[in-house]
């Protein structure tokens, strides 16, 4: 006999271990089986399971289990990302906490060895946590973005792109993190609102130039008064960058400054003459309409500088201190110290015109927390625009589809406006770039410090998959022997010491690029590198392209688009057929979860408290395509109760000897309720199958919930009790077998969403009686039932009974009829069919609806409420059990309360100021309150209308 309650804590680890040990997570080996493949969005090796991971991986597991049960060769390929910055940060912090030397003191090799040591000890936490979620990944194929196979793929891709002129080295602006001293991607930049200021500076015009500046205007905006100025005003939120200004821009149509275009200003402090240029970037309506241009330290200014031919002068070191390109008194200053010093000097010298306090958004490193600087540096770039074109066509043509479809717009917008992709990072943990540098030839010598001019790099770069190949390429290039040295400083020192080309026997030194690749570069290869590429493996032939990608909207560009670009370029077809974008999990009020708000929900704690199945069902049921998930513990508790309902129904079936019968054929059942539940089961199988194929996870969960709770537990088992307790042996045996069959189908349908409780019931219900199971539930066959098992006659008859009882129960609840009361039901105008149904099911009606009697009559008695019973009218006599006047007053009062609430919320939602100022979750909460109030009002009004007919 089943235990009284299901104990997730003891069952979950036992069943997971059994699944994994059995090999059930591996794709079946039938050569004719259609593959179904999902590659996991690889979590960071430093990560731990959060609620977003729980949602994303639950949905992947639902699909994998579903398709596995359908007989497909289902592969869910797991793995983790080496997470360059995050992992390096963790290890550096550990070293600091232990009082050890920093990575630069340790040296590259020793530090990287330390990271690998950390990875071996602590890097598998999240994969173990995924197991706790029930993730049925094929762990035998687990990959890591730095494992040798993926490293080989990365090297090959880098070299091929370089040799196809799709990857190159360039000097451009990047997001620079001064703490980690590396370029970072836009995804790793967090915009924070801070208190700041616009400092308005007067730059003096050079060469004695003056102009007439308007200072008063008429009603039409035309200037009426002017003053003579020998300066132009610019404003900045970063005064320290003025030391790198190389121009001032004005709009070409700005009448105030047209005469100044082509003239010069003298840059304060520095004394540099810089031109005034015309560019559409300058907005005449903002500030003075003139903007200072610092091409090396602002992304917009970089574009202006390119168009106007302005010099780009970098004034910062990698630590964000001022470098030797500024006046001597500022060299070595921290950027923020320099800011204060420059403002103070401007005020002292009189060219500070105004300080305008403001709040503005400032970029910060999401991991370091420091202010990010636009920084001009040599980096490696991928020609993303060229690679994007086939990726665009794949979605435009329908080769790959997005669900929900509206996310295609985001994908298109990003790819149609794509910029070169910076793929180099100044880190030590990651895929080291397979490029070697050597000194330029004699006709372009390095300077005395051993610096190689950036415009000669292409003459001395050797991009190859191995060091041996790089040496061979370099020896062909130089026509001399080549040796590999530690770094550029060592290499150039040796080169200069040998007198460059004077010593024809001196080997020419080359040195490897110190940078590593952006983690998104290796992740972009994930769908094919994890399957063995560049080797022609059996897995690659069978499982590429993959089937469905499940991921979040925030990485459509950073990961999805890049996988599309790389997959099509190197494999010739898109890496997946479908991209499902899952929702964002918010708290119960619709607010984004954050540690600072204290509203974070830890899935591992929820699993400990309420069981994995409850957490999974909640996330699945709430993952509608058009909305974010508002998660509350109460919702999870509700779905835990759903599991309890199933467990108790299984116990009821077991206690009533509802066991599987060898050779039982549902097509042969005769009892109307058994024909009915058979048809309801057929319809549910079709509904759940269709929903998971879409996939529409919430629709699948909704269909399962309705069928299990309402149809099977609340109705079928209740309707079956008289038969199970009766004397008709044949009817009893048929009902027992049907109940056991329907329960088996339920376990199969529910297994992808609630794997643990269903597997436990699958095994427990076969322990003592009935035929042995052929397999564990995880490997059972998905039900495929014939449509002709739906019996229209049984459906109509049992449907009539269910609707009648449901209507009576609803009236009793609405009218506050006491549970102990047993009103009489009178049926008026019944035809032959309704009379026959009433006769057959009278006892059930009396029991399920708690009635005193149910009989036919020519007229409805006084004091009764009408209900529809097909062509007949039922009259429920409730007047003697309730205070009519009090009930009318109660309903009227409650309706008035809802009317007031509706008016109040409508007033808010109709106020543009409220909509503009209120947080998104607050607006949404009010919309939900309005919908709930309107629904409640309509229900109460219907009840009041019914009550009016009583008298």
Q: What DSSP string describes 268-280?
A: TTT--EEEEEE-T
CA–CA gap between residue 613 and residue 194 (Å, rounded): 43
Do 414 and 556 touch, CB atoms closer than 8 A?
yes
| CA-to-CA separations, 414 to 327, 700, 701, in angstroms, rounded | 41, 32, 34
DSSP summary character for residue 712 = I
CA–CA gap between residue 164 and residue 168 (Å, rounded): 10
Question: How many CB atoms are located within 10 Å of the residue 599 CB?
Answer: 15
pLDDT at 456: 40
DSSP summary character for residue 176 = E
User: 173 - beta bridge partners?
Assistant: 376
pLDDT at 97: 87
C-alpha torsion angle, residues 285, 286, 291, 294 (rounded to 10): -130
User: How are the residues of the chain apportioned to helix, strand and coil, as percentages rounded to the nearest 5?
Assistant: 50, 20, 35
Give the angle 659-663-666 at the CA atoms, nearest 5°.
Answer: 75
| CA-to-CA separations, 529 to 60, 144, 155, in angstroms, rounded | 20, 10, 11
Do 129 and 599 touch, CB atoms closer than 8 A?
no
Tokens of 35: 């593959």
Strands across the sheet containing 247-250: 264-266, 273-278, 247-250, 290-293
Tokens of 50: 């959060």
446's torsion region: left (phi>0), alpha (psi -120 to 50) or beta?
Answer: beta
Enumerate residues 6+ apart whose C-beta is below 8 A from 728. none
CA–CA gap between residue 119 and residue 129 (Å, rounded): 16
197's torsion region: left (phi>0), alpha (psi -120 to 50) or beta?
Answer: beta
CA–CA gap between residue 353 and residue 356 (Å, rounded): 10
Mapping DSSP to helix (H, G, I), strand (E, B) and coil, where does residue 471 land? Answer: helix
Kind and range of the H or E element at 631? strand 629-631
* Closest by CA position to 42, among listed 148, 142, 121: 142
Mapping DSSP to helix (H, G, I), strand (E, B) and coil, where does residue 585 land? Answer: strand
pLDDT at 865: 87
**pLDDT averaged over consecutive 10-residue blocks of the chain (951 residues)?**
93 98 96 97 91 95 98 97 90 85 86 91 89 98 96 98 97 92 88 93 96 90 91 96 97 94 97 96 91 96 96 95 96 97 97 93 91 94 97 98 94 94 94 92 49 48 96 92 83 64 73 94 98 97 97 92 98 97 82 71 94 97 77 93 97 94 95 97 98 96 97 96 94 97 98 98 87 93 97 95 93 90 93 92 93 91 85 88 78 86 87 80 82 84 74 59
Tokens of 419: 């910029």
Mapping DSSP to helix (H, G, I), strand (E, B) and coil, where does residue 909 land? Answer: helix
* Closest by CA position to 15, among listed 783, 764, 766: 764
Question: How many CB atoms are located within 10 Å of the residue 524 CB?
Answer: 30
| CA-to-CA separations, 328 to 270, 333, 352, 631, in angstroms, rounded | 10, 10, 22, 58
DSSP summary character for residue 200 = E
CA–CA gap between residue 772 and residue 469 (Å, rounded): 62
* Closest by CA position to 383, among listed 562, 582, 584: 562
CA–CA gap between residue 244 and residue 342 (Å, rounded): 13
Mapped to the 3 state alphabet, what secondary structure does 460-516 carry? CEEECCCHHHHHHHHHHHHCCCEEEECCHHHHHHHHHHCCHHHCCCCCEEEEECCCE
Q: How many Cα atoms are found within 13 Å in the side-chain-facing hemisphere of 707? A: 26
CA–CA gap between residue 829 and residue 859 (Å, rounded): 8
Judge residue 104's burial from the number of C-beta atoms within 10 Å of its C-beta, 0-12 exposed, 13-18 middle, 19 or more buried.
exposed
Tokens of 862: 């006084």
pLDDT at 502: 54
Kind and range of the H or E element at 516? strand 516-517
Question: How many CB atoms are located within 10 Å of the residue 437 CB?
Answer: 23
CA–CA gap between residue 846 and residue 783 (Å, rounded): 36
pLDDT at 453: 46
pLDDT at 217: 87
Measure the N-to-C terminal CA separation of the chain; round to a whole number of Å: 53
* Closest by CA position to 239, among listed 273, 266, 282, 203: 203
Question: DSSP E strands: which ranges in 350-474?
Answer: 352-365, 373-382, 401-403, 421-422, 424-425, 435-437, 461-463
* Closest by CA position to 43, among listed 136, 140, 144, 134: 144
pTM recorded for the entire structure: 0.86
Cα four-point dihedral sign 304, 310, 312, 313: negative
Kind and range of the H or E element at 249? strand 247-250
Largest interatomic CA distance in the chain: 123
| CA-to-CA separations, 397 to 23, 113, 119, 258, 660, in angstroms, rounded | 38, 47, 42, 49, 49
Cα four-point dihedral sign 703, 709, 714, 716: positive
Give the angle 511-435-168 at the CA atoms, nearest 5°.
Answer: 135
CA–CA gap between residue 152 and residue 798 (Å, rounded): 65
293's torsion region: left (phi>0), alpha (psi -120 to 50) or beta?
Answer: beta
pLDDT at 490: 74
Judge residue 441's burial from the number of C-beta atoms within 10 Å of its C-beta, 0-12 exposed, 13-18 middle, 19 or more buried.
middle
pLDDT at 497: 64
CA–CA gap between residue 257 and residue 279 (Å, rounded): 12
Tokens of 840: 């057959």
Do 91 and 54 touch, CB atoms closer than 8 A?
no
CA–CA gap between residue 155 and residue 159 (Å, rounded): 6
DSSP summary character for residue 504 = T
pLDDT at 444: 45
Judge residue 358's burial from the number of C-beta atoms within 10 Å of its C-beta, 0-12 exposed, 13-18 middle, 19 or more buried.
exposed
pLDDT at 512: 94
CA–CA gap between residue 347 and residue 344 (Å, rounded): 5
């Amino acid at each position: 006999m089943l235990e009284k309650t299901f104990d997730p804590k003891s069952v979950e680890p036992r069943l997971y271990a059994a699944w994994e040990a059995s090999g059930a997570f591996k794709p079946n080996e039938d050569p004719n089986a259609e593959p179904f493949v999902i590659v996991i969005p690889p979590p960071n090796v430093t990560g731990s399971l959060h609620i977003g991971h729980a949602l994303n991986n639950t949905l992947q597991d639902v699909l994998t289990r579903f398709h596995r049960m359908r007989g497909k060769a289902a592969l869910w390929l797991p793995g983790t990302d080496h997470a360059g910055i995050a992992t390096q940060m963790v290890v550096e912090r550990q070293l600091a906490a232990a009082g050890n030397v920093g990575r630069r003191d340790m040296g590259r090799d020793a530090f990287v060895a330390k990271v690998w040591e950390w990875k071996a000890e602590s890097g598998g936490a999240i994969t173990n946590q995924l197991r706790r979620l029930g993730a049925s990944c094929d762990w035998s194929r687990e990959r890591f973005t730095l494992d040798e196979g993926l490293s080989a793929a990365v090297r090959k891709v880098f070299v091929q792109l370089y040799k196809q002129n799709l990857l190159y080295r360039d000097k451009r602006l990047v997001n620079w993190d001064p703490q980690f001293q590396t370029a970072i991607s836009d995804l790793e930049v967090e915009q924070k609102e801070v208190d700041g200021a616009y400092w308005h500076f007067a730059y003096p015009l050079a060469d004695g130039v003056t102009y007439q500046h308007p200072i008063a205007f008429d009603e039409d905006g035309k200037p009426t008064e002017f003053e003579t100025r020998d300066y132009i005003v610019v404003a900045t939120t970063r005064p320290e960058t003025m030391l790198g200004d190389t121009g001032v821009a004005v709009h070409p149509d700005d009448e105030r400054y047209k005469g100044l275009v082509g003239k010069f200003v003298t840059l304060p402090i520095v004394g540099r003459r810089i031109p005034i240029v015309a560019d559409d970037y300058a907005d005449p309506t903002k500030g003075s309409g003139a903007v200072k241009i610092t091409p090396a330290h602002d992304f917009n200014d970089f574009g202006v500088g390119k168009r106007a031919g302005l010099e780009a002068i970098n004034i910062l070191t990698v630590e964000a201190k001022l470098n030797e390109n500024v006046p001597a008194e500022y060299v070595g200053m921290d950027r923020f110290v320099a800011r204060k010093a420059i403002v103070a000097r401007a005020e002292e010298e009189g060219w500070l015109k105004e300080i305008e306090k403001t709040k503005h958004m400032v970029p910060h490193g999401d991991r370091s927390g420091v202010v990010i600087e636009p920084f001009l540096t040599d980096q490696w770039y991928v020609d993303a625009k060229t690679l994007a074109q086939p990726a665009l066509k794949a979605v435009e043509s329908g080769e790959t589809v997005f669900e929900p479809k509206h996310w295609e717009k985001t994908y298109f917008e990003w790819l149609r406006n794509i910029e070169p992709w910076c793929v180099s990072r100044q880190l030590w943990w990651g895929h080291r770039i397979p490029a070697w540098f050597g000194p330029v030839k004699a006709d372009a010598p390095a300077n005395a410090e051993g610096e190689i001019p950036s415009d000669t790099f292409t003459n001395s770069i050797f991009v190859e998959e191995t060091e041996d190949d790089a040496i061979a390429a370099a020896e062909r290039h130089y026509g001399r022997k080549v040796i590999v040295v530690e770094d550029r400083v060592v290499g150039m020192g040796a080169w200069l010491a040998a007198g460059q080309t004077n010593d024809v026997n001196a080997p020419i030194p080359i040195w490897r690029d110190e940078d590593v690749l952006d983690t998104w570069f290796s992740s972009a290869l994930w769908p094919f590198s994890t399957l063995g590429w560049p080797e022609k493996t059996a897995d690659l032939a069978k499982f590429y392209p993959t089937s469905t990608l499940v991921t979040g909207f925030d990485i459509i560009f950073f990961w999805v688009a890049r996988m599309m670009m790389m997959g099509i370029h190197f494999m010739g077809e898109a890496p997946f057929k479908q991209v499902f974008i899952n929702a964002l999990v918010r708290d119960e009020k619709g607010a984004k979860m954050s540690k600072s708000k204290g509203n974070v929900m830890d899935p591992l704690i929820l699993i400990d408290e309420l069981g994995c199945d409850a957490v999974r069902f909640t996330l699945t049921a709430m993952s509608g395509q058009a909305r974010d998930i508002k998660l509350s513990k109460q919702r999870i508790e509700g779905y835990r109760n759903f599991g309890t309902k199933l467990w108790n129904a299984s116990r009821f079936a077991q206690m009533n000897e509802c066991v599987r019968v060898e050779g039982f054929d549902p097509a042969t059942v005769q009892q109307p309720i058994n024909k009915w539940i058979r048809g309801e089961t057929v319809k549910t199988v079709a509904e759940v199958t269709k929903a998971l194929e879409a996939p529409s996870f919430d629709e699948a969960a909704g269909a399962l919930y309705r069928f299990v709770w309402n149809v099977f537990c609340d109705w079928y088992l209740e309707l079956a009790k008289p038969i199970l307790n009766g004397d008709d042996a044949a009817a009893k045996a048929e009902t027992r077998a049907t109940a056991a069959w329907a329960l088996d189908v339920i376990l199969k349908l529910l297994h992808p969403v609630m794997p643990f409780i269903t597997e436990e019931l699958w095994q427990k219900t076969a322990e003592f009686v009935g035929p042995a199971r052929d397999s564990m539930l995880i490997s059972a066959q998905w039900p495929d039932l014939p449509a002709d098992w739906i019996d229209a006659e049984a459906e109509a008859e049992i449907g009539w009974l269910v609707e009648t009882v449901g209507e009576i129960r609803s009236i009793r609840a609405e009218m506050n009829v006491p549970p102990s009361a047993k009103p009489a039901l009178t049926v008026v105008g019944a035809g032959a069919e309704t009379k026959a149904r009433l006769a057959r099911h009278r006892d059930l009606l009396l029991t399920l609806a708690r009635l005193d009697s149910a009989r036919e009559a020519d007229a409805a008695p006084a004091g009764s409420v009408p209900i529809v019973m097909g062509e007949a009218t039922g009259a429920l006599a409730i007047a003697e059990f309730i205070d009519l006047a009090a009930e009318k007053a109660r309903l009227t009062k409650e309706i008035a309360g809802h009317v007031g609430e509706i008016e109040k919320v409508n007033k808010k939602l109709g106020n543009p100021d409220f909509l503009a100022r209120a947080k998104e979750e607050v607006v949404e909460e009010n919309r939900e309150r309005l919908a709930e109030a309107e629904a409640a009002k309509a229900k109460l009004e219907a009840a009041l209308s019914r009550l009016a007919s009583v008298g």
